[in-house]
Amino acid sequence: MGIDYVIDLPCDPKRALGVEQIVNLVKARSRAEAVLELVRKDGDARGPDQISITTVLQTTDGVTEQQVTVQELLDQARALDDHRAACASCPANAGRDGFGCYRSIAYPITEDAEAWMLGRLPDDLESSAGVFLVRALADFGWDGEHAAEMRGQGDTFFESDDALAVRWGDEDDEDGLQVDADQIFHMLFHVGNIGETHAMMLCLFFGVLPHDVDLEVLRDDDARRKALAAATLPPQGSPGIEAFAELLRALALAASLDVDVLIDG
């Protein structure tokens, strides 16, 4: 269980299969391969057609369970193979073995990932990133209410019981500002699909673009795209942090290509 997202760059596989089907098939294959790896480690030599698992599906009618074999999952995912070659030259594939435009962040969100994201916010609220962050928080009301409700459900969604936070200015400073991890979750995952403008702003807030970037770069379409295309984040040692670093890379790519990032949290 986690947050699924897709860089919505048009392509032949998406036109042939549809985004939802691609996501379901990639999940089916990943689930089958994970089960096989697990049982092989335990010395289980049964064939995939003899190993059954229960899949749980959340629908508008509630939760449904289905018993399937690993072989059935692999057979379902075989529909991907006819389209995998089209991914080789796609910038959204990110060097993966096809369909790299689909990615996910696993629950629970780790505490070190929350701290890393908060640490990427601008130090100076007078910087370009700081000015836009203050304005966006006021304009869009990112209060983190839904994330706070999720956090209250135990450790299913968040590793930490309490949302970490950063503050600019003293607590008694009326010009001070505090942002917590629930608000970050709100601006990332509880605003619906992320359009290219919002993606660009998130890249600015979290330092993928320099916090002090010249505003003329943001206003000029070509300069902005070049800056986003050149933005990089090094690999992170922690898997929880790397999942968010990968999301930030995806946002920069989507913004540079003027496409949306589809979110399913």
* Model confidence pLDDT, tens digit, residues 135-190: 999 999 999 999 999 999 988 999 999 999 999 987 776 777 999 999 999 999 99
What is the model's pTM?
Answer: 0.89
**DSSP bridge partners of 66:** 55
* Model confidence pLDDT, tens digit, residues 240-252: 999 999 999 999 9
Mean of per-residue pLDDT scores for the chain = 92
What is d(CA 239, CA 244) in angstroms, rounded to the nearest whole number?
A: 9
Provide the residue ranges of all domains of the chain, joining segments of one domain with +. 9-97, 111-264
What is d(CA 211, CA 258) in angstroms, rounded to the nearest whole number?
A: 21
* Model confidence pLDDT, tens digit, residues 76-129: 999 999 999 999 999 999 888 899 999 999 999 999 999 999 999 999 999 999
